[in-house]
Structure 1
Amino acid sequence: MSDTDSATQPDWCSLQSADEPPAGTAAHEESWVLLEVPGRWGRDIFDGEALGEDLSRRLKDHVEACGSRMLFIRRPGREGQRLDRHRFYLCDTRPGRQSIRTGRVDGPGELLGLDLSPDGHVAGTREVAAPVPLVCTHAKRDQCCAVRGRPVAAGLEALVGGRLASLDPDAAVWECSHTGGHRFAPVLLLPGTGYTYGPAEVAHAAGIVEAV
């Protein structure tokens, strides 16, 4: 933990908040929409930096109208910088209805024609039979998430990535945009349950995913 030593990094919010109770700071959502967007994200995923201003505004309005919340995702390391088609996940976290469905689109604009609500049905999607763990690495939102989250995403991929892939080809570890509660970084989100865990170092995060 030398790279996160409070003696060398005294200004990090996640270190200063180490003794704070984390309960109640996580997002409460009934439905998450995860969209694979490689490369860099702006401070707000809808600020236009990643997708352009017009599409960002329309996509934000559409997701909100569907009663969902969107996160951008990318695979850890160099794999997360390239893709042929954009994978997306529709995650219902309502008790008794929890599920994750996945599909692919040629571009983010195609989501504008889909019902992204928790009760919506999107043709061509399939249910994922294993966890889809997310680790916040949103650098422009908070450096703690980037510096502390990226090693966790990489470590989690090394420890459980193969196991997840053997259970379902669309189950994978992802880096994600801001989830909330970043002062408790590194933050792990399991969108199939809606539960957020933090701080979740590599071994802790791997144990949580294996338990799920």
Structure 2
Amino acid sequence: MAGTASPGLVWVLVEYPGAWPPNGFEGLDLDAGTKALVISAARTANARILLVRRPGPRRLGARQRHGPASWAVLRHQSSGAYRQLWGAWELDQDLAGIVSALASPGEIGLPPVVLVCAHGQHDACCAVRGRPVGRALSERWPELVWECSHIGGDRFAANAVVAPDGVYYGGLDAASSVTTFEDHLTDRIRSEYLRGYTDLLPPQQAAVAAVLERFGPAGRHDYLVTETVREGDHWRIHITGKPPHPAHIEVELQARRTPVRQLTCRAPTEGSVIVYEPTSIRRT
């Protein structure tokens, strides 16, 4: 599972309590011009658009929205000074505010958002496993937690991403999700359910997860990847740590392709993926 976080530094959230089509925002029945503007701006900013809703009982109907809904632009910065900009929409055209928000630096100091994939129309496993996790987390942190559309890695459901922190978790259930996010929200990231950091390449993500497993929990920015060397299927990654963590660590990984199998509930054919297995972790 380590090394499978989808890359990204910017997220666009659009609250939509009604049914989500398989392709998410692009499939919504919205004003075509406004939707095209938002999609174009998001692509220019390399932003991912996610539909969100609060966990809880589903209301029937395609739209079923009473009063304004929220939208947000969340931006990850390597310094840790994450930025967010929130707005509201009632008419489709109100979503055009996202375009200017993508060009704005946003506000710092706001709490992170916990997004739990529950996109059943994309893959049934995400809904079956994701919704109980969303409910459990929302009972603890009702203002932080949203269900969201597809974030990648359906085979690891239940999946969650913390934004704009840019941290992916997978294989969660109701109990493990609460303990995982108790640690995360106090800046103690553990390796057990970690898929990776969205600002790193897959082998770098796997290397950081291996370091966390070996040396224990650490803050989001306590470890920094400072060198990455690839030789065929072999990777050597140097990581520096802030005190009290080890100052210099070298991780070696071997990339391999998994056997062909059914990867997700809805996959039409079998497939395989590349995984990165640590072969050496040492202080230098």
- SS of structure 2 residue aligned to 1:146: helix
Report runs of 4+ in structure 1 exceeding 4 Å deviation.
52-55
The answer as to whether partners of 1:102 and 1:127 remain within 8 angstroms in 2 is no
Q: Which amino acid aligns with 1:181?
A: G
- SS of structure 2 residue aligned to 1:115: helix
Deviations along 1:6-25, one digit per CA (max 9) or x if unpaired, are: xxxxxxxxxxxxxxxx1222
Gap runs ≥5 in structure 2: 186-284
Provide closer, same or farther for how the CA distance between residues 140 and 55 of structure 1 changes in structure 2, counting only shifts above 3 A: farther
Matching residue within 94, 97, 115 for 2:100? 115
CA distance in 1, matches of 2:65, 2:90: 13
The answer as to whether partners of 1:131 and 1:209 remain within 8 angstroms in 2 is no
- SS of structure 1 residue aligned to 2:6: coil
Task: Map 1:126-145 to 2 at 5 A.
Answer: 129-145=110-126
Q: Structure 1 residue 197: deviation in Å?
A: 0.1
CA distance in 2, matches of 1:174, 1:132: 8
Q: Structure 1 residue 65: deviation in Å?
A: 2.1
Task: Map 1:190-205 to 2 at 5 A.
Answer: 190-205=162-177
Taking structure 2 as the reference length, what is the TM-score of the superposition? Answer: 0.56
1:150 aligns to what? 131
CA distance in 2, matches of 1:24, 1:108: 37
CA distance in 2, matches of 1:83, 1:50: 17
Q: Which amino acid aligns with 2:151?
A: T
Q: Structure 1 residue 66: deviation in Å?
A: 2.9
Which segment is superposed worse, 108-117 or 130-139?
Answer: 108-117
Q: Which amino acid aligns with 1:76?
A: P
* 2:88 is aligned with 1:95: no
Q: Structure 1 residue 194: deviation in Å?
A: 0.8
* 2:122 is aligned with 1:173: no
Matching residue within 36, 60, 67 for 2:39? 60
- Aligned positions, number: 178
Give the structure with the larger strand fraction. 2
The answer as to whether partners of 2:117 and 2:150 remain within 8 angstroms in 1 is yes
Gap runs ≥5 in structure 1: 1-21, 162-170
Taking structure 1 as the reference length, what is the TM-score of the superposition? Answer: 0.73
The answer as to whether partners of 2:83 and 2:105 remain within 8 angstroms in 1 is no
Question: Please, what is the CA RMSD of the aligned residues?
Answer: 2.4
Q: Which amino acid aligns with 1:101?
A: L
Provide closer, same or farther for how the CA distance between residues 58 and 175 of structure 1 changes in structure 2, counting only shifts above 3 A: same
1:84 aligns to what? 67
The answer as to whether partners of 2:88 and 2:94 remain within 8 angstroms in 1 is no
Give the structure with the larger helix fraction. 1
Q: Which amino acid aligns with 2:13?
A: L
CA distance in 2, matches of 1:88, 1:183: 28
Please say which structure displays the higher CA radius of gyration. Answer: 2
Q: Which amino acid aligns with 2:129?
A: R
Provide closer, same or farther for how the CA distance between residues 179 and 108 of structure 1 changes in structure 2, counting only shifts above 3 A: farther
Deviations along 1:115-134, one digit per CA (max 9) or x if unpaired, are: 243x5246xxx656323211
Q: Structure 1 residue 26: deviation in Å?
A: 1.7
Provide closer, same or farther for how the CA distance between residues 64 and 83 of structure 1 changes in structure 2, counting only shifts above 3 A: farther
